Amino acid sequence: MAATSGESRNVQRAFVGLLAKPLVTPDTDAELYRLVVRRLPQVKESAHRLGYRVQRVGRAVRLVRVPVAATVTFPPVPADVMPRRVRSLACCLAACCEETSGTVTLQKLSDMVRDLIAAPGMQVAPYDPEERPQRKLLRDAARLLEEFGVLCRRTSDESLLDEWTESGQGVGAGYAVDRDALLLLTSPDVLELAFATEPPSEEQWAATRTIRQLRALIETPVVFYADLSDDDANALRARRGPRSHDVAVATGGHIEARSEGLLVVLTDDERPATVVDWPRARAADWVALLMADIAGRHGTRQSDGTVTLTSIQVDEVVDDLVNWRGEYMNSAQKQAPGTIRHDAEKQLVELGLLRVVNDDSWTLLPVAARYRDPDITITTPAEAPR
């Protein structure tokens, strides 16, 4: 029984790891790759329950989030997400990798991207490798493909990359192209699914309710009843028990039931990358934590559990925090106007605790109450709170 329980947990770790890193190779994460490949049939079964597809080509495995009823779940945007221009250049780089054999340098790829974008019919802004900002963007695009395992660095001297980025001289870096990962990343059938826009019928919408609920629970920090249609909200309330069981079987986590919605709590085990490490012992984190607490106390509480603040009220919260704990903030927070608010917004939005409206007003979500009354201990004026 213990062995069976341990094996089930390994399947859950493999599945959750693949959710966090949808394209994995031995070069990007050897431990996760072994975990997934050794339990691939069970991982595929877990994926199938949520309407996902697991594809394997050679030494690369990808989890494909197939749209359900022509829709996908949108989790909060990560604070470190690459700009759209970098992602566009990464797509162009991937296309150029199709035309390479053996190893290739960043300088060579740069020339290929320039020529590709200059071709008639391309709807991508021109790329000029003579401009340093453009080279920096291409360097970031190459790093993105490294994360996916498409490009495997074969040169370890960072000075070569820095020299190319700053001056355009030299080869930049040498790479090998992982064609298995490239094939999965640029799979035409996956792209076709992503661009499918035909709206679902009422029958499709109702028939896919269970899968849509499970995806929302697993892919987002929290599911609020207020964000759902009346039919979906009522169905989720009524089926909370079965959905909690499904989530536990797939991930090993558990459901925290709240009056405003459901929250999935994953175990903090030996693969902590799937669990947010927050707050940490640094100024940006404790400032964001206190901002959320003060905002929750001084904003206007709504019937759905949210707390709203105008942009002016948010600035007042910043002023209150500076007057209270300003001496313990870092130099950027003390000297650069707007840093405190910007850093707090970035963290709280990514964590799924805050939504910022177009007029810069705040909507603090009910789940932020989990961090109410934070215990911040001040040690000495020379040290940051902990």
Q: How confident is the model over 260-284, as pLDDT tens digits?
A: 999 988 876 655 466 777 888 888 8
Name the amino acid, one letter, at 166: E
Mean pLDDT in residue range 154-168? 93
CB atoms within 10 A of CB 199: 9
Answer yes or no: do 48 and 20 share one domain: yes
pLDDT at 269: 62
Last residue of a domain, one of 40, 66, 92: 66
- Residue 247 and residue 328 in one domain: no
Residue-wise pLDDT for 276-326, tens only, equals 778 888 888 999 999 999 999 989 999 888 999 999 999 999 999 999 988
Instruction: Answer yes or no: is 195 within a domain.
Output: no
Length in residues, the chain? 386
pLDDT of 4 > 60? The answer is: no
> Could you give the 3-state DSSP secondary structure of residue 334?
helix
**Confidence class of residue 2 from pLDDT cuts 50, 70 and 90?**
very low
Of the candidates 368, 283, 277, the residue with the CA atom closest to the CA atom of residue 321 = 283
99 and 178 inside one domain = yes
Dihedral (Cα; 170, 175, 176, 180), 10-degree rounding: -140
pLDDT tens-digit readout, 11-51: 999 999 999 899 999 999 999 999 999 999 999 999 999 99
In a 10 Å sphere around its CB, with 0-12 CB exposed, 13-18 middle and 19+ buried, how is residue 100 labelled? middle
* Nearest residue to 377 (alpha-carbon basis) of 265, 289, 300: 289
Q: Are residues 270 and 287 in the same domain?
A: no
Under 8 Å between Cβ of 307 and 301: yes
Residue 316 lies inside a defined structural domain of this protein: yes
Query: How many domains is the chain built from?
Result: 4
| CA–CA dist 319, 291 (Å, integer) | 10
The boundaries of the domain holding residue 205 are 200-275
Please compute the mean of the pLDDT values over residues 250-255 and round it to a whole number.
91
d(CA 362, CA 244): 31
Supply the CATH number for residue 312's domain. Answer: 1.10.10
- CA nearest 93: which of 118, 113, 107? 113
Q: Confirm whether 4 is domain-assigned.
A: yes
Q: pLDDT of 102-141, one tens digit each?
A: 899 999 999 999 999 999 989 899 999 999 999 999 999 9
Joined tokens for residue 59: 């030494």
Average model confidence (pLDDT) for the chain? 90
> pTM for the complete prediction?
0.84
| 189-203, 234-248, 353-367, range with the lowest pLDDT | 189-203
- Same domain for 161 and 120, yes or no, is yes
pLDDT in tens, 367-379: 998 888 887 775 6
Whether 325 maps to a domain, the answer reads yes
Nearest to 105 by CA among 156, 205, 174, 163: 174
